[in-house]
Structure 1
Amino acid sequence: MYGYGYPYGFYFDPTYVLLIIGMILALAASGKMKSTFARYQQVRSHSGLTGAQTAQRILNAAGIYDVTVVPIAGSLTDHYDPRTKKLALSQDVYGRTSVAAVCVAAHECGHAIQHNVNYAPLNIRSAIVPVANIGSSLSWPIFLLGLILSIPALTTAGIVLFSLAVLFQLVTLPVEFNASSRALKMLESTGILSHEENAGAKKVLTAAALTYVAALASSILQLLRLIILSGGRRRDD
């Protein structure tokens, strides 16, 4: 048995510390993103363009005319789907004229531009989506089954599957940072945001990027926890 013994058979697993650190990082990044978005959601852009109008102007400026901008329910559910070439903007972005709405719309346009120019990291991320989904859904059940039955091959398989999910998040980082970089350049070159508004735009996009950094850090810590637990069980055996 791994962990430290307590009376009446209770044990403390020290690897929970890694899990707690990961949760704190994710919550902190999410909180920062939401507070920054809420702050600049109250600031109207000088151009007066809505998120949808912003997206359309940037796409046209980039020479992209086959992407459809559509509304989608929810908050911060914005995304670009390369399969259908649809750029979906949430209710807080699609019809809003705030700096935050403009930034989010521009960021999603960044993904559409990546797709249009065959940006390699985006293609790699799209290619590993199926295996990453399998890895994230099956890794823990297989790993726990391996621990319970004391079958090292299963615990190793669980670790490998979880590594695929971590790989997906690792590839996601350059994709997201590049999309934000493209967004800032397009917002400036098209005159959608003034020079004074660029500082706010950078804060919104940086806060969004931090959520992906935190997610990767959290996943790496979970992967480390799996490795430690697997090694501890093998020593006990």
Structure 2
Amino acid sequence: MFFGADPLYLLLVMPALALAGWAQTRIVTAYREGSRYRASSGVTGAQAAEMVMREGGVQGVTIEPVAGQLTDHYDPSHKVLRLSSGNFQEDSLAAVGVAAHEAGHAIQDATHYPLLVVRNLMVPLAGLGSNASMMLLIGGVALQWPALMYIAIGLFSLAVLFQVVNLPVEFNASRRARTMLQQSGLISPEEDVVVGKVLNAAAMTYVAATLTGVSQLVYFLIRSGAVGRGSRDDDRTA
């Protein structure tokens, strides 16, 4: 018995998955609400990102629109801040908040924020762990081969560790964004309440993803131990 049909999986992982679903709903709701309010400064998301980066001493970073919704991200390898088309051109509090958050990542990069440096170094390993671990894990279960399962769990641990490191990076970027938006006069204290709701909701998606990863890792460790004990028992019986 493994994964969804396993009572242990339901006990350990399903609560985290439920939290992830709730967090995703919350970010959509908060973003939709924040999109109804225009920033009193009248700046668009792209303009807000540019001003926040300038205040943070960032140079040489371009700002580009990208297709999709909430596809906003900062690319440290190419020094490009990409904003979803709505956030790029709109002057809503949601757009300004999200854009400033990504500008916060650019400031982290420019100032060599230690945890961002660690996160960037972990990206290739985390990608490998996320992509390869499940296939190896299923193979290890099917073949009753504990060694293969331990390799898979080791790789999956890299993806979970990446999520753990990423949490403070995201919270720090949001804190920088809200502080600099107020200091530069782009939003008022009253508007910061709305921006805070959007960024806090976004942060919860990272928290939920991390809890999901940790709970899955605990489940895999427990189940791999059971498989390992079963294999040893079979060897002694033989």
Q: TM-score range by the shorter chain?
A: over 0.9
* Pairing 1:35-114 to 2, within 5 Å after superposition: 35-114=29-108
Measure how far apart 1:12 and its partner are.
4.4
Deviations 1:57-106 (A, max 9, x none): 11122222311111110000000111111110002200011000000000
Change (3 A) 1:20 1:158: same
- State the AA in 2 paired with 1:231: G
The answer to whether 1:125 aligns with 2:113 is no
Measure how far apart 1:145 and its partner are.
1.2
Which residue of the partner structure matches residue 135 of structure 1?
129
CA distance in 2, matches of 1:12, 1:130: 32
Q: Is the 8 A contact 1:99 1:200 kept in 2?
A: yes
The answer to whether 1:13 aligns with 2:10 is no
Measure how far apart 1:236 and its partner are.
3.4
* Pairing 1:140-151 to 2, within 5 Å after superposition: 140-151=134-145
Which residue of the partner structure matches residue 7 of structure 1?
none
More helix, by proportion: 2
- State the AA in 1 paired with 2:19: L
CA distance in 1, matches of 2:228, 2:53: 55
- State the AA in 1 paired with 2:6: D
Measure how far apart 1:151 and its partner are.
1.6
- State the AA in 1 paired with 2:196: K
Unaligned runs of 5+ in 2: 232-238
Deviations 1:113-134 (A, max 9, x none): 0000000000000001111111
Q: Is the 8 A contact 1:139 1:162 kept in 2?
A: yes
Q: TM-score, normalised by structure 2?
A: 0.92
CA distance in 1, matches of 2:141, 2:58: 52
CA distance in 2, matches of 1:75, 1:210: 18
Which residue of the partner structure matches residue 234 of structure 2?
none
Please give the secondary structure, in 1, of the residue aligned with 2:207. helix
- State the AA in 1 paired with 2:88: Y
Q: Is the 8 A contact 2:8 2:219 kept in 1?
A: yes
Please give the secondary structure, in 2, of the residue aligned with 1:80. strand
Measure how far apart 1:232 and its partner are.
2.3
- State the AA in 1 paired with 2:105: H
Deviations 1:118-166 (A, max 9, x none): 0000000000111111100111111121122222111111111100000
CA distance in 2, matches of 1:20, 1:64: 42
Please give the secondary structure, in 1, of the residue aligned with 2:81. strand
- State the AA in 1 paired with 2:35: Q
Which residue of the partner structure matches residue 171 of structure 1?
165
Please give the secondary structure, in 1, of the residue aligned with 2:74. strand
Of residues 109-118 and 143-152 in structure 1, the stretch that sits farther from structure 2 once superposed is 143-152
Deviations 1:166-193 (A, max 9, x none): 0000000011000001001110110000
Please give the secondary structure, in 2, of the residue aligned with 1:93. helix
Unaligned runs of 5+ in 1: 4-10
Matched residue pairs, number?
229
Percent same amino acid at aligned positions?
A: 45
Which residue of the partner structure matches residue 216 of structure 1?
210
The answer to whether 1:231 aligns with 2:225 is yes
CA distance in 1, matches of 2:160, 2:145: 23
CA distance in 2, matches of 1:150, 1:60: 57
Structure 1 outlier segments of 4+, above 3 Å: none
* RMSD between aligned residues: 1.4
- State the AA in 1 paired with 2:124: P
Please give the secondary structure, in 2, of the residue aligned with 1:89. strand
CA distance in 2, matches of 1:231, 1:108: 41
CA distance in 1, matches of 2:184, 2:15: 41
